[in-house]
Every structure is written in C-alpha cells, then in structure tokens.
Amino acid sequence: MYQTPMSRSILLRHPFFSAVILMLLLAPWPALAEQKIGFVNPQRVVNETRLGKTAKADLARYVAEKDRLAKASAVQIETLRKEAEAPGLSAQDRTRREELLRRKAAQHEQLLSENARDIKAEETRLLQYVMRRAEAVLEDLGKKGGYAIIFTDPAAVGYVDKASVDLTERVAQELDGRGK
Amino acid sequence: MRSLIACIVAALLALVCAATALSKETAKELARQPGWGRVYTVSGKVAVRENPALDALTVRVLKSGQKVRVDFVDDGWAAVFDPAEMVRAETRAQGYVRLAELHAEASPGAKPEALPRSEKPAKPEKPAKPPAADQAKKTGAKKQAPPQPFGEIRVADRKMAVRAGRDKDTEFKRLLPAGKRVRVDFLEDGWFAVFDPEEKVRDLSRAWGYGRDKFLVPEKDYAGQPLPEATEPAGKEAPAKGAQKQKNGDAVAYAVLSRQADLLRPLAPVVLRVRLDMPAPPAPEALRKIVREIWKAERRKNEDLQVEVLLPGMEKDGLAFAVARFHDDGRLKEFWWREVVLRTKR
C-alpha cells in the first residue's frame, strides 16, 4: 500500500498524540480555570464611568478655583508694578514700592507652586477614590469569574490580547451599577 | 330725573365697594410681604458675588429693573435675597452686592432713608420690626408692651425635619429629635412655623422653619421619652456624645468629628472635620454660608482653620464632601466640593 510521507509520519507519532489528548482530557478543569488572566485599563474606568466622570468634573472645578486665586494674585502684582513704575515718585517711595512688588512676586510664585502641588494631590485623592471602588468590583469579578490575575498596568506585561481578556467594560458597567 | 339720581347713587356705591375690595387686597398683599430687609430695584447690571469682596466669584448677575431684598449690610456690602424670601437668614442669600450699585425702593419694613456705607451688620438675633409695630409707632403709641409668649409649646413625636417652607420639597433647615420641645404658631396648610421654645417675639423671620402639624403634639399628649436637654435652659448645647458635639450653625446642626493640626508643618491650617446633620446635601450656595457659620463658631484665636464637611453615612476619615479655607476676616478664600462622594452609596 502506498503511503505518503505525511501519513507515515502521523502513524509514527500516533501514540504520542494520543497521550497528549488523553492528558488534556484528564487534566482537572479547576487547574485550567486558575490560568484565567484578565486586564483592566484604569484610565478607561475613569473616563467611561459615571463615577470617574464626576471625579473629573470635581477636579476641573478645583483647578478653576485655584486658577481664580492665581489670577487674583496676578492682578495684585500688576497693580503693584504700575504703582512702582508711576512717574514722579521719590526715590524712597519707589524703593518701598519695588520692595513690596518683589515680596508679592515671591508670594505669587509660591502660590503657583502650591497650587500645582495641591492640584496634583487632589487628582491623586480623586483617582484613588474611584480606583478603590473599582478594586472592590475587580475583587468580586475575580472571585466569581475564577481569574487568577487581573492586570491593571499594560506596561507591566509585554503583550495583552485585549480582545479576549479585557474586563474594563464589565468593571465599568458594574461600577456604574453600584453607584447611585 | 329720579332715575338719573338713582343711577349716580348706584355708580357711587359700586365705586365704594370696589375701593373697599381693593384696599383689602392691598392689605392682604402687604401682610404677605416679609417684614425685614429692604427691597431694591437694580439699575444696570449688578454682579452678585459669593463673598463681600470685589475679587470674589460672581455667582449671578442682576438685570436692570430686577427687584431684590437686601439685608446684613456691612461695610458697603449687603446680602441679596429673593424679594419674596420670608426667612431672614444669611444662609439663604443669593450672594453679596455693593450697595452703591443698587437703587433703593420703599417697601414695608424698610427704612425710608438710605443706608450709610459704614452701617454695621444687622444682627440676626435682633428681630425685624413687624408691620404692626411700625403702625403702632406711627399712631403715636409711646410705649410697647413687653413681648409675651405666643403660640403654644408642642413636642416632636418622632424624628422630624424642619423645612424652609410649608412644603416637604423645600430646603431642609434642621432635624428635631423625638421629644424635642418647640414653640409653634402660624398654622397653615398643615404646617406650623417652628420657633425656639423660649422665643418671645412672634415674628416669622425668627422661626427655625416649618414643621408638619401632625408630628408636633401637645406636651400632655406626648408619650415618648423626653430629651435630657428638654429640661435644660434654652440655648444650651446638647450633651457631648463621645468626642462629638451637636451644635447649630445658623440653623444647621453639625457634629465636630476631629480637629487636627499638622505638627510637622506649623504654617499648615488646622483641619476641622464636621458632619452635617442633613439627609440631603445642601446646594453649594447654602453650603458656603454654612461653612462660614461653622468657621465663625469653631475658630480659635488667630487660627488658620480649614473646614471639611461630611454628610451622614460618610466615613469619618474618608474624602470630605466640601472643603473651605478662609481669610482672617472670615471671607472665603477657597471653597470646593466633591460630587463624586455623592455618587457612591453611603
């Protein structure tokens, strides 16, 4: 009987394939379940949930409040600058006003730096608030879905097949469901 | 000729009747007017600011011809209210305007002369003169009788809300615990005006707000446990519960949760965390007034006090609903609030 090289090869390996298939069939299913891996994009959780959007609106309001303070301070500096540069001032008056301007300018710089620090801190607080609630959802989802690992940092792994393991949408929906 | 005379007489009678009816309507209308503050007509656009300061945030703009009620005048600034506002409480103000930008208009309860720029703020404790009192003055009554208790004392038979108006959807003012004694009067549509039990002046502007009559029972009919404070003199605070104190800041009850100073940063503000006794979050405009009242009540000498407001059900150490920082003179320096904390179930 004529046999092609390919069919001969399969016949030769037949016992090996059988063993592999048998092993797969007999493998305990929970062990396979433990291999489930998920991925959640925190940025999308913030961007796509009501909770996250509210947090972003809160942050925008906070930034506007800080901007208002900075603008008011800038207006004061401008006024002091005009006063210091006004013609007809005595040398003593000019020195005093310039000193005042210099101090106010230093305060303004400090205010700007504090504002930037405060905004960063508020952003972190709000983000943490949202993510803490998202983590509670993730934990439930992980337990119920049998996930061993759920990544939240895409940079931590070399490759993630987002189409099959991305849980972001489910987390977002669940988070919105838990909110008011 | 006779018929002509009869016609004239009939016409005159009709005129008299109409005039009488009109004067009754006018009297009723006047009685409905709040007897406090002054009504102003705006000339030109006037900015309403969240604080009495030129650099404060503009919260709305009044248009020319618009009427506003004005009170709490201080250093050329005044709080503005809806002209129909019945309750004289600064927390209900829409904001602040410069008096110079307004144009006075005579109204019941208003002083005929213009208010000087340096006029001191009218104290909320001082009752606004009711129209009746003004009338007595005009008719030559030299001496007024000392104020007598009015209405009646009733007891809340359950935990109940006192609201800004005779409607359950109006702004929440304070919570009456079961057994709380109050003075009630002005029953209308099933709602009493609720006063401090020691209140002597029968003036709606001095009321805490309005409460449902069916929950306010006469003392003899009240079967529940009386409050320990019910036997104490009026104005005394409720006993402290653990580290918490129940206080009232312009008709809003709150509990102090903590007061923390950062020992490592001496210039950092002292942070006072309070929990408002309100089932629903107040609007930002009202919240601004509330935090200011809390700051006034809680600030110690020369302290840089930051007020953080939490609502019932929020974690004591969690993210606050609102945060306020102040200038030394009590004006708001910074104020922000976080709606995100309202999005999660408390």
What pLDDT digit, counting tens, does each position of B295-309 carry? 988 988 888 999 999
Distance CA B323, CA B105 (A): 38
Highest mean pLDDT: which range of B16-25, B202-211, B232-241: B202-211
Contact B334/A58, CB-based, under 8 Å? no
ipTM above 0.90, yes or no: no
**B259 sits in which H/E element:** strand B252-260
Strand extents, DSSP E, A19-141? 37-39
Find out whether B73 and B147 touch, Cβ atoms under 8 Å. no
Residue in A54, A66, A130 nearest the CB of B339: A54
B-facing residues of A in 148-177 (CB < 8 A) are: none
Right CATH for B38-120 from 2.60.40.10, 3.40.50.2300, 2.30.30.40, 2.40.30.10: 2.30.30.40
Radius of gyration over every alpha carbon of chain B, rounded to an integer in angstroms: 24
Residue B319 contacts A, CB cutoff 8 Å? yes
CATH 3.30.990.10: does it fit domain B152-228?
no
Q: What are phi and psi of B38, to 5 degrees?
A: -135, 150
- Residue A173 predicted with pLDDT over 80: yes
Distance CA B11, CA B4 (A): 11
Task: Identify the CA nearest to B196 among candidates B164, B254, B168, B236.
Answer: B236
- pLDDT interval class at A1 (50, 70, 90): very low
Phi-psi region of A146 (alpha: psi -120 to 50; beta: other; left: phi over 0): left
Distance CA B315, CA B346 (A): 9
Contact A72/B55, CB-based, under 8 Å? yes
What is the per-residue pLDDT across B231-264, written as a single tens digit (0 to 9) for each?
333 333 333 333 334 444 445 788 899 998 887 7
Token pair for residue B193? 């005006």
Contact A51/B55, CB-based, under 8 Å? no
Find out whether B311 and B279 touch, Cβ atoms under 8 Å. no
What is the per-residue pLDDT across B107-151, written as a single tens digit (0 to 9) for each?
433 333 333 333 333 333 333 333 333 333 333 333 445 566 788
- pLDDT interval class at A24 (50, 70, 90): very low
- Residue B346 predicted with pLDDT over 60: no
Find out whether B151 and B183 touch, Cβ atoms under 8 Å. yes
Q: pLDDT: is B82 or A117 the higher one?
A: A117
| Closest chain A C-alpha to B338 CA, distance in angstroms | 5
Handedness of CA A83, A88, A89, A91 (dihedral sign): positive
Q: What is the pLDDT of residue A62?
A: 96
Highest mean pLDDT: which range of A78-87, B45-54, B69-78: A78-87
What is the per-residue pLDDT across A98-117, written as a single tens digit (0 to 9) for each?
999 999 999 999 999 999 99
**Closest chain B residue to A46, measured at CA:** B340
* Average pLDDT of chain A to the nearest whole number: 81
Q: What is the pLDDT of residue B164?
A: 83
In angstroms, the Cα distances linking A101 to A81, A92, A94, A115 are: 6, 14, 10, 20
Looking at beta carbons, which residues of chain A come within 8 Å of B56?
none
| Closest chain A C-alpha to B88 CA, distance in angstroms | 29
Looking at beta carbons, which residues of chain B come within 8 Å of A125?
319
Residue type, B267: L
Q: What is the pLDDT of residue B265?
A: 77
> Coil, strand or helix: which one is B217?
strand
Contact B340/A126, CB-based, under 8 Å? yes
What is the per-residue pLDDT across A47-97, written as a single tens digit (0 to 9) for each?
999 999 999 999 999 999 999 999 999 999 999 999 998 888 898 999 999
| Closest chain B C-alpha to A39 CA, distance in angstroms | 24
**Residue B321 CB: number of other CB atoms within 10 A?**
21
Looking at beta carbons, which residues of chain A come within 8 Å of B333?
69
For chain A, the domains span: 5-178
Same fold, B38-120 and B152-228: yes
Q: pLDDT: is A126 or B262 the higher one?
A: A126
Distance CA B141, CA B233 (A): 34
Q: pLDDT: is A164 or B312 the higher one?
A: B312
* Residue that is written with structure tokens 């925008």 in the block: A60
What is the per-residue pLDDT across B215-235, written as a single tens digit (0 to 9) for each?
898 887 777 766 644 333 333
**Residue B202 CB: number of other CB atoms within 10 A?**
20
Q: What is the pLDDT of residue B111?
A: 39
Q: What is the pLDDT of residue A110?
A: 94
Count how many Cα atoms sit within 13 Å of the Cα of residue B327 in the half-sphere of its side chain.
Answer: 11
Stretch B83-104: mean pLDDT: 76
Q: What is the pLDDT of residue B19?
A: 54
For chain B, the domains span: 38-120, 152-228, 237-342
* Average pLDDT of chain B to the nearest whole number: 73
Contact B57/A68, CB-based, under 8 Å? yes
